Structure 1
Amino acid sequence: MAQPNLQTEQKSHPTTFLDKLLGRVEAIGNKLPDPFILFVCLALIIVVASVAINSMGVTVVHPGTNKTLPIKSLLSHQGIQYILTSMLTNFTEFKPLGLVLAMMLGVGLAEKVGLLELAIKKTILNAPKALITYAIIFTGILANLAADAAFVIVPPLAAMIFYTVGRHPLAGLAAGFAGVGSGFTANFIISGTDGLLSGISTEAAKTIDPSAAVSPAANWYFMAASVFVLTVIGAIVTEKIVEPRLGNYKGKKRNDFGEISETEAKGLKNSIVATCIYVAVLAVFLFWPNSPLRNEDGGIVPSPFLNGIIPITLLFFVVVGSVYGITVGKIKSSRDVPAYMTDSMKDMASYIVLIFAAAQFIAYFNWTNIGTWIAVEGADALKALNLTGLPVVVGFVFLTVVLSLLIFSGSAQWALEAPIFIPLFMLLGYNPGFIQAAYRIADSSTNVITPLNPYMIVILAFMKEYEPKAGLGTIISLMLPYTLAFLGIWIVMLLIFAVFGIPLGPGVYMYL
């Protein structure tokens, strides 16, 4: 791997194989249309494909009902009626839509009043010098609760802290970017990402089993364990690989961070107290005899508690966000709470637009029975090749890695992959929650090296504050070790969970 050349001018033309490869990936990716247009095009492709396959009289035997299903044409009398009458319900009944919007009401409130940013800053600033790298990676991973805001909070703060303690600021920037980007999917708390991906997985799984449901907590245990593992791996990569290659920093510091005020500290303290009270009350309700949060047998898997994890998490963020906002004076009346929630919903506008197109594509894919046909034929082909064990799952991970270099949006990519691979792997006996986890580790690992990441430009701007001659190649060369390390350890973790029968979440194992 080439040494980042931070003290000389960047070369105008790529000279190494890696530079040429990454340049080619960027060129191809830039030719892809916007995700909304991409889904519109895919929906049109399904329309044309349904007509062509229907004309050949293709049928498929549904593995769940043993019924013979024809491939239905979307341009038939019935198909045209379906397109017109289902468009609104395809959108409004698309499961991920309500899950994510509801989640963001609470998380958005906590973010808009400043609680999440302060918690991030407090965690890093209070860490002992020997543990600063670990604190930055750890905080960056957990900061995905702040969604995309984490990309503009953690990396520059980490760079400033590294500079303050006499370390190379770009190493701090890289560590912060790795935690936020490559560790984006991991967390202790059920987040909007869990709700979004599980909703898409559920829609895909229902093509095989109409009663199938993938809970937002399906990968909870696996992702919680990942926080600790990635924190250690990320710190090792930073201190043993990235920082030594950068050497000593000789530039000038360009910015600074302010102190935490007494009011902010008081607000954070009150929000921690509110957190403890909320968790205590929830625990009492959960473990109380005959609790309405448990199932009829008194168990938790499955239960109303897991089914209602999004509303429970939503209420948690509303409570702690409101307590903090009131303490620091950002919430002065009851009108301020819905105002901040409304403001957070503005940030979701592009997501809502994307979901409208994605929902139509998935609905068409399922209605025509093309999804079931591809799944059955694909599963039969894999069985014929004897590719039905963990190697085929690892192969799926690497396929997702390649696609992730061309499609940055994790939800958009999963909306493309899930309708094909969830049914296919279900027919091979795999739990859709397990396959969802395999997707997540591949997609998350590559966030920091894909040229299509819109935050690459933001990170580059922060980087230029310390090294004006830095370029896109500088970022990718710094971040590639994190991608390889995170992906490698995640694959090992997935295999360990699978081989030793460790649940990835409540009731979710490798096989159904």
Structure 2
Amino acid sequence: MEDTNHKQSKFQRVLDFIERFGNKLPHPFLIFVYLAAIIIIISAIVASFDISVTHPGTGEEVVAKSLLSGEGLLFALETMLENFTGFAPLGLVLTMMLGIGVAQGVGLFDTAIKLTIEKAPRAVITYAIAFVAVMGNIASDAAAVIVPPLAAMVFYSLGRHPVAGIAAGFAGAVGGFTANLLIAGTDALLAGITTEAARAIDQDMLITPIDNYFFMATSVFLIVLLVGLVTEKVIEPRLGKYDPKYAEEGILAQKQEKVGRIEIKALRNSMIAALVYIGVILALIWPETSVLRGEGGVLVPSPFLSNIVPIIFVFFIVVSVTYGISAKTIKKSGDIPVFMASAVKDMAPYIVLVFAIAQFIAYFNWTNLSTIIAVNSADYLQSVNFVGLPLIIIFILVMGMLNQFITSGSAQWALMAPVFVPMFMLLDFHPAFTQLAYRIGDSSTALLTPLNPYLIMVLGFMKRYDKRSGLGSIISTMIPYTIALMVGWILLMIVWFLLDLPIGPGINIRLDG
């Protein structure tokens, strides 16, 4: 017993350290401001030694350039606005969020989530909850707020432990945040950052939001299976029989609101609109002479794939407006831009952060530090023969560890991508595959960090059903999910790697694939 207590207290001290250290970190915006300042100083030092490398693609000599020079000062001043407005993720994400914001504003996502759980057979309810939690990330963080309390009510109504329902909903929404059967804002955001980083090696490189689609769509089913199994085989047996005496007064009397007929009809109409829209798109790309096809009538690559974000944007507008008019949540045409404005307002912190990220990446690339670091690192890894699967697995684990301190997925990738994307490109890995590996490490460990604001929110949900719950309770409950997701996802990646399967339309693991 003493040994167990010792281990628990040691683990708690680790969590306390993570929380204290993370809380002392400045705002992500300031982190990138400081990093930009550091790049300015380092560039001057490296340039003073005339350090250079041979560009592996062009064969040209790449020399370190100093930002503390006349040329550097002019670059910083003349490109500041262009760095911001031309930053690839900005337009992609804002466009996606305009469409998704309308869907969220009219109530489409809420109805879909509630109806799926409401209609799911009792035998598969755990997996249904996990599925809607994973798919709910199309509405950004909404699933982490909606699904856990809804799952608790459903579990309790079935005579099961409500905290297990909360755990399943949270694990699916946060642990599976990066996976979806639809193209989400996360795909656009990460693809833009990866593109900016990859252009340090190849100026023509373009990563699209669908470049990880095959792998991430498959991951949805893996995550649902793992979350369901862990909930039923590990979490519920550990929690035991639920004792209602520890519940907050009135919480057990709450009932799940049934989806009304008008909402069901609206959802049906929106699905019909979705099918019609998809039919129109298929009709447009079917002819080999279609303007949406590439040279020779191919689909990969093609204008259809390179312009997928506008196509998805229109899709969300069509289904959302259909739902809103049918459900009477859109009463006049002016309601549509109001919903869009609300979505953009929610994106304001991201827009501010992008300004600093864009300058940092632009400085890093202009000074040629990214290329120099990438070439030297790749040469060293090849010299010690540390390449291939072992390197990718270590990379995933390192990203998972860093996720405990920098919880913003976009901020962490903006920090890591300029170093690792070029380096892995020189090792013949496609930038989209490096991005995929990052997504595994980031998403599977997001359940554990005390800095995740949704962790504290979900702890509040747990306390309503069991007032004895504390931070240790939710962390210990999430550990089995994190282990299962990390191990399962890495195994899936290994299978994908060994079979050399495409990770997205026309996108292979290797650059020469």
Q: TM-score, normalised by structure 1?
A: 0.96
C-alpha deviation, 1:20, in angstroms? 2.0
Query: Which whole-Å CA distance do the structure 2 matches of 1:473 and 1:285 have between them?
Result: 55
Equivalent position amino acid for 2:418 in 1: P
Query: Match of 1:445?
Result: 444
Verify the 8 A CA contact 1:96 1:198 in the aligned structure 2: yes
Query: Match of 1:183?
Result: 176
- Number of equivalences: 504
Query: Which whole-Å CA distance do the structure 1 matches of 2:492 and 2:300 have between them?
Result: 23
Query: Which whole-Å CA distance do the structure 2 matches of 1:69 and 1:230 have between them?
Result: 44
Cα deviation digits, residues 208-240 of structure 1 (max 9, x gap)? 011111121111000111111111111000000
Query: Match of 1:502?
Result: 501
Verify the 8 A CA contact 1:190 1:309 in the aligned structure 2: no
Verify the 8 A CA contact 2:288 2:298 in the aligned structure 1: no
Verify the 8 A CA contact 1:57 1:71 in the aligned structure 2: yes
Larger deviation: 62-71 or 123-132? 62-71
Cα deviation digits, residues 247-290 of structure 1 (max 9, x gap)? 11112444332121121111111111111111111111121341
Query: Match of 1:380?
Result: 379
Query: Which whole-Å CA distance do the structure 1 matches of 2:130 and 2:8 have between them?
Result: 32
Query: Which whole-Å CA distance do the structure 1 matches of 2:327 and 2:73 have between them?
Result: 56
Query: Which whole-Å CA distance do the structure 2 matches of 1:357 and 1:256 have between them?
Result: 46
Query: Which whole-Å CA distance do the structure 2 matches of 1:486 and 1:300 have between them?
Result: 33
Query: Match of 1:328?
Result: 327
Cα deviation digits, residues 16-39 of structure 1 (max 9, x gap)? 332222222222222211111111
C-alpha deviation, 1:433, in angstroms? 0.9
Once the two structures are superposed, the pairs formed by residues 139-158 of structure 1 within 5 Å of their partners are 139-158=132-151
Once the two structures are superposed, the pairs formed by residues 433-472 of structure 1 within 5 Å of their partners are 433-472=432-471
Query: Which whole-Å CA distance do the structure 1 matches of 2:62 and 2:278 have between them?
Result: 49
Query: Which whole-Å CA distance do the structure 2 matches of 1:359 and 1:479 have between them?
Result: 34
C-alpha deviation, 1:54, in angstroms? 1.2
Query: Which whole-Å CA distance do the structure 1 matches of 2:40 and 2:478 have between them?
Result: 41
Once the two structures are superposed, the pairs formed by residues 198-209 of structure 1 within 5 Å of their partners are 198-209=191-202
Query: Which whole-Å CA distance do the structure 2 matches of 1:296 and 1:289 have between them?
Result: 10
Verify the 8 A CA contact 2:56 2:426 in the aligned structure 1: yes
Query: Match of 1:415?
Result: 414
Cα deviation digits, residues 377-436 of structure 1 (max 9, x gap)? 100110111111210111111110111111111111110111000000000111111111
Cα deviation digits, residues 162-197 of structure 1 (max 9, x gap)? 111110011000000011000001111111111111
Verify the 8 A CA contact 2:118 2:258 in the aligned structure 1: no
State the percentage of identical aligned residues. Answer: 51
What residue ranges of structure 1 are gaps of 5+ in the alignment? 5-10
Query: Match of 1:84?
Result: 77
5, 17, 24: which one aligns with 2:17: 24
Verify the 8 A CA contact 1:498 1:509 in the aligned structure 2: no
Equivalent position amino acid for 1:184 in 2: F
What residue ranges of structure 2 are gaps of 5+ in the alignment? none
Verify the 8 A CA contact 1:294 1:300 in the aligned structure 2: yes
Equivalent position amino acid for 2:302 in 1: S
C-alpha deviation, 1:14, in angstroms? 8.8
Report the 3-state secondary structure (helix = DSSP H, G, I; strand = E; otherwise coil) of the residue aligned with 1:402: helix
**1:120 aligned to 2:130?**
no
Query: Which whole-Å CA distance do the structure 2 matches of 1:318 and 1:112 have between them?
Result: 11
Verify the 8 A CA contact 1:104 1:345 in the aligned structure 2: yes
Query: Which whole-Å CA distance do the structure 2 matches of 1:289 and 1:365 have between them?
Result: 42
Verify the 8 A CA contact 1:375 1:424 in the aligned structure 2: yes
Report the 3-state secondary structure (helix = DSSP H, G, I; strand = E; otherwise coil) of the residue aligned with 1:104: helix
**1:49 aligned to 2:48?**
no
Query: Which whole-Å CA distance do the structure 2 matches of 1:15 and 1:246 have between them?
Result: 18
Query: Match of 1:7?
Result: none
TM-aligned CA distance change 1:62 to 1:289, over 3 Å: closer
Equivalent position amino acid for 2:345 in 1: K
**1:33 aligned to 2:26?**
yes
Verify the 8 A CA contact 1:14 1:20 in the aligned structure 2: no
Query: Match of 1:426?
Result: 425
C-alpha deviation, 1:60, in angstroms? 2.0
Query: Match of 2:365?
Result: 366
Query: Match of 2:257?
Result: 258
Report the 3-state secondary structure (helix = DSSP H, G, I; strand = E; otherwise coil) of the residue aligned with 1:153: helix
Equivalent position amino acid for 2:99 in 1: G
Report the 3-state secondary structure (helix = DSSP H, G, I; strand = E; otherwise coil) of the residue aligned with 1:60: strand
Query: Which whole-Å CA distance do the structure 1 matches of 2:197 and 2:298 have between them?
Result: 27
Cα deviation digits, residues 421-478 of structure 1 (max 9, x gap)? 0000000111111111100011000111111111112111111110112111111111
Query: Match of 1:210?
Result: 203
Equivalent position amino acid for 1:358 in 2: I
| Aligned-CA RMSD value | 1.6
57, 61, 79: which one aligns with 1:68: 61
Query: Which whole-Å CA distance do the structure 2 matches of 1:248 and 1:49 have between them?
Result: 59
